Structure 1
Amino acid sequence: MNNDLYLRLDSISKELDDFYTKEYSSENEEYLENKVIKSRIVDLIIKYKECDENQLIDKALFLLFDNTGCQEDFEILNEIISPLFDKKIITKELIENNLGENSPLARWY
């Protein structure tokens, strides 16, 4: 496992932790910051695929799904996830299974 790639995932995970404790001046600012961080996860998943780091892909997907817990998060997910479909990293079934099992959204599934 490439140590740099692992550290990048750890860094994004910490960004998400900070995001949830930070105060924002507007809902739009909060939404945009949420989207930027989650877009970084998607970019990292693509990089992991290029490097054949399947274990890190799984960890990054778990991080993404675990931090998809409300309608706004789900909207962001829908906006940013298409590159993962395009590169055949994920399927619709994988999304449905993970949102039903590894996401706070599971309470509504």
Structure 2
Amino acid sequence: MKIDYRSEIDKIRDSLKNYYNKQFKSEEEDYIENKKNKEQIKKLIILVNNDSALSEAERGYIIKVGLELLAKNTGSAEDGEIAEDILDSLFYDLKILSQEDIDNYYEQSSNRRWD
């Protein structure tokens, strides 16, 4: 079964947009929803990495788009912590991301303006 990764990315993008327009009853509820949405990017990257039907170039492109989406939706310290957990897992634990992927993420990250 071929997965339409563009539509998966669009779904994640929509859930991130919807998150920013939501009101939450508590900070904990907000955090859980934020983390859940960003974890979708991690799941997508793992799925793409394991999809043998994709070429190396296609895999690299979709992973790059996923990381850019994560970077563009990382602004607060809490966002940064969630993103770091995702990046650490994909880089150190699962060995999916390369150093170049990590560098590209930080180039896209809005936190960079404070460097």
Give the TM bin, normalised by the shorter chain.
Answer: 0.7 to 0.9
Change (3 A) 1:15 1:23: same
Instruction: Return 5+ residue gaps in structure 1 as ranges.
Output: none
Partner of 1:84: 90
Partner of 1:12: 12
Runs of 4+ in 1 over 3 A off after TM superposition: 91-94
Q: In structure 1, what is the Cα distance between the partners aligned to 2:108 and 2:34? A: 19
Instruction: Return 5+ residue gaps in structure 2 as ranges.
Output: none
Q: Deviations over 1:45-79 (max 9, x none)?
A: 11111124221111111101111111110111123
Letter in 2 for 1:107: R
SS of the equivalent of 2:4 reads helix
Percent of matched pairs sharing the same residue:
39
Residue 106 of structure 1, aligned match among 102, 106, 112: 112
Residue 81 of structure 2, aligned match among 75, 95, 99: 75
Residue 69 of structure 2, aligned match among 63, 67, 76: 63
Matched residues, number: 107
Q: TM-score, normalised by structure 1?
A: 0.85
Q: TM-score, normalised by structure 2?
A: 0.81
* RMSD (Å) for aligned C-alpha atoms: 1.8
